[in-house]
Amino acid sequence: MALFECRLKKYRQLKELTQEQLAAQVGVRRETIMRLEKAQYNPSLKLAIDISRAVEAPIEELFIFD
């Protein structure tokens, strides 16, 4: 199922953010963050940028495509 590796959980925990808090910051539902962390949802470019800004990590570090 996973087409990419997602390291969002690691960076989110580093920033001490809950899924709920991160979801509120980037304007999505908590379920979307859950799916993202399991690499089960391919985010839009805007959402990826918003998340990388929220957790202060580069996009290429968060989402790793083969």
Partner 1 sequence: MKKNSVRVWVGCGIFCIAAVLLSVWYAVTFNDSRLVVLMDFESYAFTPRDLPMIVSILLACVYVLALFIRLFISIGKKQRDPAASNTTRRLNPKLGLLGLLGFLGFAGFWTYSVTGDVSPFVFLLFFGFFGFFYEGKMSGTFMDERFRENAARAQLTSYKITFKITLIVLIILCRGKLFGSMEYTLMAVIIVLSLTLALGIFLQEYLLYRYDHDDHMEEGEA
Residue 21 contacts partner 1 per CB under 8 A: no
Nearest distance from C-beta of residue 56 to partner 1, angstroms: 22
What secondary structure letter does DSSP report for 13? H
Stretch that binds partner 1, among 8-16, 30-38, 58-66 (CB under 8 A): 30-38
For 4, phi then psi, to 5°, come to -150, 165
Helix (H, G, I), strand (E, B) or coil at 57: coil
Residue 27 contacts partner 1 per CB under 8 A: yes
Question: What are the beta bridge partners of residue 63?
Answer: 6
Q: Which of 31, 49, 61, 64 binds partner 1 (CB under 8 A)?
A: 31
